[in-house]
Amino acid sequence: MVTALHAPILVTGSHRSGTTWIGKILGADPSVGVIHEPFTRTCRPGIFPYRIPYWYYRMPVPPPADLVEAYENVLGFRYAYGAELRTVRSPHDLGRMVRDAGRFALYRTQKRRPLVKDPLALLSADRIAAVFHSSVLVTTRHPLAFVSSLTRLGWRFDFNDLLVQQDVMELLGDAAEDAVLGRKLGADDPIVEAAYLWKLLHRVIARYRETHPEFLFVRYEDLARDPGTRFAEIFSRLGLTFGDRIRKQIDFLSGEDNPSERDNDPRVTRVASSVHAEKSLRRLSDEDRDRVRRIVDPVASLYYSDQEW
């Protein structure tokens, strides 16, 4: 029987909420093997051969048998050589396959505990926890930081990916109207679109807080301002070992000697986290800040006080 302190770990939340940073710090524990975003639609088939049909896919009940098989295999670090070989077109592809397969073989040999870092699995987190007996960490980020991050990167979202999923509509309930408004009002306005997306995703997180108190919920800002203390608490809750190795990783990724801003590259995770957390709240103009707040209230008040605006 899988106990809570040995269960697979899912780190999720809205995208741009620090899940990659959190995954890298948790992954510094040598007992952990990190798996990167199987629910993203661009995941390599060698890692996860099941093709996810939508962004923010909600796994149905019962889940497709081939999805269950693929997820169980990824948790066991079993690489899908056949699926990957069919996509190899260049020496670069072959090298990537050798790298990924080798990493899985090492993790499997060392009997590492799987840690899935996947914000795109947020709407399936409750079902992943139930079917795959996973411990779940959910992170949130201030709406101003989320919106400014998406608009800075030029990332858009097609609300049709939510609207066509009946399971998502049932999960959202009365809030499903916000997906319609996000598609309609945000079509020509990336800030409005991102604000509605934040509101929808954080309605789901609010529901998880009510129905799944066993999940671990953290705010990006709290971690960024005091990573040493906050990560020690997370490690303890997840049954991981917090020691000098982890402290060095926190300092490397989050220390004050790092730059306070990232380049416009979502892969960059080394920043002075406490300064970056504050700066990311101030990028939008006053007018745009007001627009975002009008959209995300009252959901935002579940996470952030008036003083944090």
Contact assessment for residue 281 and residue 144, using Cβ atoms and an 8 Å cutoff? yes
Q: Residue 37, by phi and psi: left (phi above 0), alpha (psi -120 to 50) or beta?
A: left
Residue 62: cis peptide before it, omega within 30 degrees of 0: yes
Q: CA 217, 299, 134 angle in degrees (round to 5)?
A: 25
Token output for 128: 């992943």
* Separation CA 268–CA 280 (nearest Å): 15
**In this structure, which amino acid lies at residue 8?**
P
Amino acid 126: pLDDT: 98
* Separation CA 165–CA 160 (nearest Å): 9
Amino acid 275: pLDDT: 84
Token look-up 């929808």 returns: 200
Q: Residue 216, by phi and psi: left (phi above 0), alpha (psi -120 to 50) or beta?
A: beta
User: Pairing state of beta strands 135-140 and 9-13?
Assistant: parallel
First to last CA, the chain: 45
* Separation CA 25–CA 27 (nearest Å): 5
Q: Reduce the DSSP state of residue 77 to 3 states and report it.
A: coil
Amino acid 136: pLDDT: 98
Contact assessment for residue 240 and residue 26, using Cβ atoms and an 8 Å cutoff? yes
Residue 190: cis peptide before it, omega within 30 degrees of 0: no
Amino acid 5: pLDDT: 58
Q: CA 152, 35, 86 angle in degrees (round to 5)?
A: 95
Amino acid 272: pLDDT: 77
Amino acid 1: pLDDT: 40
Contact assessment for residue 100 and residue 46, using Cβ atoms and an 8 Å cutoff? yes
Q: What backbone phi and psi angles, to 5 degrees, belong to 178?
A: -65, -30
**In this structure, which amino acid lies at residue 184?**
K
Amino acid 263: pLDDT: 52
Q: CA 205, 210, 212 angle in degrees (round to 5)?
A: 80
Per-residue pLDDT of the chain (309 residues; tens, 9 = 90+): 445 557 999 999 999 999 999 999 999 999 999 999 999 999 999 999 999 999 999 999 999 999 999 999 999 999 999 999 999 999 999 999 999 999 999 999 999 999 999 999 999 999 999 999 999 999 999 999 999 999 999 999 999 999 999 999 999 998 999 999 999 999 999 999 999 999 999 999 999 999 999 999 999 999 999 999 999 999 999 999 999 999 999 999 988 887 766 656 666 677 878 888 888 899 999 999 999 999 999 999 999 999 999
Q: Residue 2, by phi and psi: left (phi above 0), alpha (psi -120 to 50) or beta?
A: beta
